Structure formats: structure tokens, C-alpha cells
Structure 1
């Protein structure tokens, strides 16, 4: 980081009178004035470090403003508080691609083991030939009160991206990717809104494929050369006989196509296509993360736009699977 940026961060900012808010809820680190200020000071200390990762203080366009650097660091501090982890240990396990802050899969695996409330740790079993796409991992973890462990299987062919680690150490990479996928299915509240290295790599691959398709469509189309020689003789029409007038077919009526304009509408359409009611979805989402769904919200159009965006980014199918699992567990407890 440049000396100018470090000195600017170290200078005290002019203070202004703030309204003091006291909060002891699950998001007190954001809504309580004293706690928020303390986290912001931690972010300032992180931003002033000379060993700060480059992606937090500059990009291709140049060096960020000091407050932008501090804001980037605050994102890491806030996520670390949610996980109950040391923000300075989390910081090196981050990177930015395409303007998105992502976290390494090994960090997510550590978070699950430390914060998911499992009986023991995640367990891994392998089968198949190592080095082939059929090489498969089964990740399992047991929650207190469950009779059986929750399991998920993932093969190299299903998970691999362009990351070179899939070639050098596919077993370890499969552990990281399997742990992330397991967490998104069985404890999504821990990784809600978190983008991983696998996510970024897949987004980059999709973007590259789309760009290639666009370039292929833009290529000029050349017609085959016509054979040389005299032009074919075309028989003259008999203009004396009247031509039979055929009625023109009536134009087909096309139904207007509904195009979702925002994340709320996209989510509502997706739920409709999956035959999953909005009320059931909102109720299930409240069980997963009560802080994201305020009381009184019952349908998707009432949800905040950013919540709908995160649901779509995380994967609606996985969240619906988790809701179904939660519902089944609640029914079992009610039966007992």
C-alpha cells in the first residue's frame, strides 16, 4: 500500500455528534453504536496494515480512497463477527474477482466445523479412481438430536473448474468444495450471502462461454459461390389466365411474454415454476435466518430486494431443500 494511503488512514477524522443507539439483538454489532464504532476501528487498523492484500486497496483502475479501503476491510470484519472468527485470520483467505469479494473454500470448511454446532466434525469418505471425473467424496455431519448424519456426495466431474488445484490435488479440493456444498444444503444460515472461489470460477467460465458465443454469432456469413455458365431459363407465365387468389393466413396472436424486472420478480417466477408457494418459502426463510425476514412479511414482493438477490445467488434449489429438511425435523419434533 502506498505511503500516502497509509498516512491518510492514520489521520484522525473530524468527529460529529451521533445519536447513540443501544442494541442487544443478533445484529448488535451493526445496530449498536458503540459496537459498530469498535468494529470500524478494527477495520481501520486492518486497512492501515502494510501487508493488506492488494485486492482490498487497489484494482486495475488505481488505488482506492482511504475510506473505500476501510470499507472493504469492514466487510471482512463484519463477516468474521458473524462467524465468530478472528478477522485478521479471515483477511488472507479472501480475494476479489469481477467486483465480488469471495472466500476460500478451506475457510468455509473451517467455519462449518467451528460454528455449525455439529457433534464432532465433518467426515469425508472417498470412492472411485483418484484423478478421474468419477472420483467422489461423501461429506457427512451429525447435528445434535438427529438419529443419522446428514450426507452429501460430490464428484470431481460435477465440481471441477479451471482451478489448477483440481489437477494438482483433486482430493483436497474436493474436500473444500464438498464442505461448501454440504453447508449450503444443511446449514445455509452460516454461508448465506457468501461467495466462494468455486462460485467465482464458474461465473468467469460462464462469462467466457457467453463471450465466445457472441463472437461466433458476429462472424460474417459467406454464401457459396454460384456455378459459372448461362443463367437457367425461366418459363414465362401465362398472363392471360387469371391467377387464383389465395387468402393470406391470419397472423398468429402472440401472448405477451413477462420479463422479470428485478430479483423479487425473478424469485417469484422461480417459485411458481417449482410449484413452491411464496408463503411457505418466506416462512422457511424466516426459520433459516430470522434476522433477514421481518415480522409481518408473508410473500416474496414484501422481501427486501437484497435478500432476494442473495437467495438467487446462493441457489434457490439448495435453500428449498434446506427448508424441506427443516419442516421435516419440526414435524418429527412435534410428533414426539
Structure 2
């Protein structure tokens, strides 16, 4: 017969197992998560990247179980860039803030009058000892060639990257090994193929100039319905969904990108062929730049 202390220990061990394995803790947990994922995928209230996508909903649920958080909150802060799941910057900071190791967290500037001189995240351990993250400096940003968001929202990006560096050094378990907003985009931006899709003509665009979508039909193209490793044709989301995932944007923002790039001639992804949408997936860098301009307005 189990004593109260033994029962308490058993519950604690089960909780620890759940936090590590999530939906894979046991067959019953797996089936419950699978059913919940199918239900969430059928809802129009979840972010668009999860709609009709029970596989992604299952992964979000598993992450929520491991962090012991609300699944919808996870879905709202977990997005995918180039098949790499990433936390939103503000959520990454929140994960560090609620880490039980720390009694307080804060950002430190090298120069209070100019955050771009350097930013790092700091925290105080429950023992009273202070720990410090890596300085994120303009020299680092330049040397690494980090992308467009560093021009349009620099202070936020300095803090997001400072939080990411701090977490990986001082509380790696908080991020579950995932990247933080901007990191996956910067990696993707360095590896983009030198192919210009129809809406982004291969030429210099002067200030205020707009690409004419009807005049660039001869642009190089990627193969239609390009294969995604490890996925069958039936599992591959349509190109507009993959574009929204890669750009971390809504359908409205995606339409705004096409409208701006085409000078108002293409105001919706629905007016583009599948081939042209696949082309756009081959060069996300310029689409991200247009999106950044729209978001900055």
C-alpha cells in the first residue's frame, strides 16, 4: 500500500515525465493529443498556419504540454521559417522571465543614450548571484549580416537577440532548443538561391520604383510543386500557406506584399498561378523586405 509520501512522489515523477516527453509520455497521452490536434486544426480561431494542419497542431500541443502552458498561447507565439520553428521575440523574453532559476531579469545598455552601442540580458539567481548574457553590438550585427528587421525595428531586435543568447547560455531548457524571432530569418536570408521570382524582377529598383508583374514573365522559375524532403505530395501545404509560414505573416499581409510589389495590379495571392507562388518561395529575401516596409508604415 502506498503511503501519502509515496503517492506524492509518484505524481511528481509523472509530472516530470510529462514535462520532458509531452504527448509522447504514454499511448493514452498520445491519443488524447492527436484528437485535440485534429479538433484545433478544424477551428478558424487558430493561426492560419495551423488551420487544416493537424500535424503542426500536434507539435504545438506537445510543446504546450512540455512547457505546461495553454496550447493556443503556444500557437500564437510559435511560427515556422524555412521549416525551422521559432518563438516570437516577446514570448522568448517571457520564457526567460518566468524561469524558476531567476528572481529578476533586466536588459542592460552599454550606453543609456544609444541602445545600438550594445545590449545584453541579465538576471539575478535565487541565490542572489547575478548572471549576464552576451553583448549584442553593432559590430556583431554587421559581421553576421543580420537582416532587414534590424533596420526597421532595431531596438526590438537587439533585445530579442540578447534574450536568445542569454537563454542558450543560462537557461537553455526555457527555449526547448528553438530559435527566436529573427534568427531563422537571418539564416534563411543567407541561404536564398539566386533566383528572382515573377513579382521581384532581377534589376536595380530605385526609390519609389515598383516592379511590374506583367513584364517579368521570363524570370527564372523553380520547379512547380517543388518536393519537400520527408513529405508526400498530400502532406505538402499549398504554396500560399508555406509563404505565410516562411514570412510569419497573415493572409492580409501576404496580399499587401503582392499588391505593393506589383504596383497594385495583384492585390491577392489568389490571382497568381501555383507556379508563380512557388517561384516566390524561391526568393523570400525580397518579399521579407517588402513586408518589413509595410509593417513599418
Cα distance, 1:81–1:117 mapped onto 2, change above 3 Å: farther
Give the unaligned 5+ runs of structure 2. Answer: 1-12, 196-297
| Corresponding position of 1:161 | 146
CA contact (8 A) 1:46 1:52 kept: yes
- Tell me if 1:198 matches 2:182: yes
* Number of residues of Structure 1 aligned to a counterpart in Structure 2: 176
- Tell me if 1:95 matches 2:79: yes
User: Post-superposition shift, 1:25?
Assistant: 6.0
- Tell me if 1:84 matches 2:74: no
Question: What are the within-5 Å matches in structure 2 for residues 40-51 of structure 1?
Answer: 40-51=34-45
Question: What are the within-5 Å matches in structure 2 for residues 128-277 of structure 1?
Answer: 128=111, 134-145=116-127, 147-159=129-141, 161-164=146-149, 166-208=150-192, 211=194
| Corresponding position of 1:31 | 25
Partners of 1:111 and 1:158 lie apart in 2 by 24
Q: Post-superposition, which runs of at least 4 consecutive aligned residues in structure 1 deviate over 6 A?
A: 129-132
CA contact (8 A) 1:136 1:155 kept: yes
Point out which structure has higher relative CO (alpha carbons under 8 A, 6+ apart): 2
| Deviation readout 1:307-334 (Å, 9 max, x if unpaired) | xxxxxxxxxxxxxxxxxxxxxxxxxxxx
Cα distance, 1:117–1:39 mapped onto 2, change above 3 Å: farther
User: Post-superposition shift, 1:39?
Assistant: 2.6
State which of 117, 123, 126 in structure 1 corresponds to 2:106.
Answer: 123
| Deviation readout 1:202-245 (Å, 9 max, x if unpaired) | 2212213x749xxxxxxxxxxxxxxxxxxxxxxxxxxxxxxxxx
Larger-gyration structure (1/2) = 1
Partners of 1:182 and 1:168 lie apart in 2 by 23
| Deviation readout 1:77-123 (Å, 9 max, x if unpaired) | 11122222211012122322222222212211111111343112x20
| Deviation readout 1:158-210 (Å, 9 max, x if unpaired) | 2473243x2343222211211111000111122243133322112212213x7
CA RMSD of aligned residues (A): 2.8
| Deviation readout 1:238-283 (Å, 9 max, x if unpaired) | xxxxxxxxxxxxxxxxxxxxxxxxxxxxxxxxxxxxxxxxxxxxxx
Partners of 2:139 and 2:91 lie apart in 1 by 23
User: Which shifted more, 189-198 or 81-90?
Assistant: 189-198
What SS is found at the alignment partner of 1:119?
strand
Give the unaligned 5+ runs of structure 1. Answer: 1-22, 58-65, 213-336
CA contact (8 A) 1:140 1:149 kept: yes
What SS is found at the alignment partner of 1:149?
strand
User: Which shifted more, 100-109 or 48-57?
Assistant: 48-57
CA contact (8 A) 2:120 2:163 kept: no
Cα distance, 1:171–1:74 mapped onto 2, change above 3 Å: same
What SS is found at the alignment partner of 1:112?
helix
Question: What are the within-5 Å matches in structure 2 for residues 49-68 of structure 1?
Answer: 49-57=43-51
Partners of 1:152 and 1:101 lie apart in 2 by 23
